[in-house]
Amino acid sequence: MSKNIIIVEDDPFSQNFYEYVFRKAGFTSIIIEDGDLLMEKLKTMEASLIIMDINLQNTYLNGEKADGIMISRYLKQNETYSKIPIILVSAYPVSQNGKNYFEESLADDYITKPITDFNFLIGKVNKLIAE
């Protein structure tokens, strides 16, 4: 069975990075920039895991502007999608100004950018897919 990774990322450099890394690791990756498009894709395919960037600039969910934290929380609170593992990605600390964005997102794991250890990323992915 193919392992499908959906990547929600709006930065072209990061998109190319993920596409290359996951292809080399033997995964099928689908890159999406918008929450509404993500929901459409999830209706037609089975996702093994979602990589979710926190800072999405022009992303919408159900027609309203959203970021990766909101989209992740929405998926985790939806019975249909709650079992899909989500790795949150941020260039910033997951805890700022007294708020823990990782906990708020309900994601399964997180990683900070820049991602310099490809094996670390693939290790997290493989661990979450195997659970």
Task: Determine contact, residues 33/58, Cβ cutoff 8 Å.
Answer: yes
Task: Per-residue pLDDT tens, the chain, 131 aa: give them.
Answer: 568 999 999 999 999 999 999 999 999 999 999 999 999 999 999 999 999 999 998 899 999 999 999 999 999 999 999 999 999 998 877 666 667 888 899 999 999 988 989 999 999 999 999 87
Position 96 scores a pLDDT of 66
Supply the pLDDT for residue 6.
Answer: 98
- The radius of gyration computed from the CA coordinates of the chain, to the nearest angstrom, equals 14
Q: Examine residue 93 and say whether the peptide bond preceding it is cis (omega within 30 degrees of 0).
A: no
Q: Output phi, psi for 10, to 5 deg.
A: -110, 0
End-to-end CA distance of the chain: 16
Bridge partner list, 98:
none
pLDDT at 97: 65
3-state secondary structure of 126: helix
Model's pTM, two decimal places?
A: 0.93
Looking at residue 101, its pLDDT comes to 81
Query: In this predicted structure, what is the pLDDT of residue 131?
Result: 73
